[in-house]
Chains A and B, each alone.
Chain A
């Protein structure tokens, strides 16, 4: 490769990075605008005689929340028991296994319940949202809404966003309870600590602030999952293959965003 070709390939590489940065900033901007627009329709829609359909919100809540309960229960129980196993194994080195409740309570409530719930909802419902909107876009259903005078954000985005904001924190609380219960059952079997004593310990250890920390960040995860799903679904091009691509992209971006946000939360909460 001569120096001219090398320079031009470097130029193309830098151009591609620049293009991706611009597209990324544009997507974040569009996401922000869509959140603002969603709340606009939620609060001002009834005044404009274009209210958000409550039945559509319920449908979304059932799909995002109720139908995810078995999966969340299984994963929460497994991770709760696993946390107890690992904590007991590690604390036994110091002869402090009776303190296992501390590790389990904080880990499950502040970290694992919101994180695992967010990741599962992103994989299950965030991808479905991106695929549904992408399919609607390529089959001109979004255009059909526009020409009927129906705002697509009001009709499609607000129910999904509201469904997420209500159900992801609700699933997180459910995840906390199942995770702590399964951890308690294992601790009871392994260390002989009764469930009543374990429950009392949990109540003593945890503050309302710990629960708010976990539930609060799950609400932020909910907004991230919804907006990433919507933005990817809306950016689809190229037919069925394009829908597949944006669906994968939505899941990867949502999980990445959740983990990075979680890290930022952990950093700020431990200062």
Chain B
């Protein structure tokens, strides 16, 4: 039996925001073709972990390897080349409001692929068909519903046929029917395009439906990594509380939680 290849490897990741430690010694890996769900309560660090995996931030210590490349050691051109193999569907879609849906989908092709405009238009329409948005390419993002925006974001994320797809809270703010349809879409994209998918979510229905393996984060540390069945049968009270949506008495220290929420500097970093 052939050994499964690891495509994402996080080792001893430690991150800070100012003086605050956000992630503490986080280690995990994702195998090729796997759907890995990262879950945890608010302020657990799951979105932060995703930002570091997407190479949007530089870690304090530890290593992150994407497709066998240590992202901290890549130069600008190597990072540029790696980015072409990564797709990201953001929580709010992050479609560019000044562009049509079609132009949004075509943007990565326009920037990275040396194709004529007609070919790019055809490819963009094909991806829109995959996410059931055929014929919507000339609409502006403001003319789409929340679920449609997320599907268009998926189309943009996969237009370059990436090897890795990161999804941040794909079903947040959607009704159960649309959320379920998005879960189906993630599985469809994984199966049809052979992608490795990392999903951050706290929607248990989605977790059980799409996850091959699950990473549970709690207060910046890994509480559990395993399959859905292992998670369901895990003896830890914290995990069972999370699954049964029960608040633990000591789970959230109000002061610590407030400091997590309000501890950001009043002005941002003033860089793009």
Q: Give me the interface of A with B, judged by CB distance under 8 Å.
A: 23, 26-27, 30, 34, 48, 50, 133, 135-137, 139-144, 146-150, 152-153, 156-157, 230-232, 234-237
Contact = CB atoms under 8 A, between A and B. Distances in A.
Given A133-B272, A147-B86, A23 B267 contact: yes
23 contacts: A26-B270, A48-B77, A50-B80, A133-B272, A135-B97, A137-B272, A141-B95, A141-B96, A141-B97, A143-B56, A143-B88, A144-B90, A147-B56, A147-B86, A147-B88, A148-B107, A149-B112, A156-B272, A231-B270, A232-B270, A234-B272, A235-B267, A235-B270
Given A143-B56, A231-B270, A237-B267, A148 B83 contact: yes
Contacts of A136: 96
Contacts of A153: 272
A4 B272 CA distance: 43
Contact of B111 (A148, A230, A234, A235): A148
Contact of B94 (A139, A234, A236): A139
Main SS of the interface on chain A? helix
B246 to A, nearest CB: 31
A149 B111 contact: yes
Given A140-B92, A140-B94, A152 B111 contact: no
Contacts of A146: 56
Interface of B: 54-56, 77, 79-80, 83-84, 86, 88, 90-92, 94-97, 107-108, 111-112, 166, 264-272
Contact of A142 (B77, B84, B92, B272): B272
Given A30-B271, A234-B270, A141 B94 contact: yes
Contacts of A232: 270
Contacts of A231: 270
Contacts of A27: 270
Contacts of B272: 34, 133, 137, 142, 152-153, 156-157, 230, 234
Nearest to A140: B94
A34 B268 CA distance: 16
A237 B86 contact: no
Given A136-B96, A143-B90, A157-B272, 20 more contacts: A27-B270, A34-B272, A133-B272, A140-B90, A141-B96, A141-B97, A142-B272, A143-B94, A144-B88, A147-B83, A149-B83, A149-B112, A150-B108, A231-B270, A234-B268, A234-B269, A234-B272, A235-B267, A235-B268, A236-B268
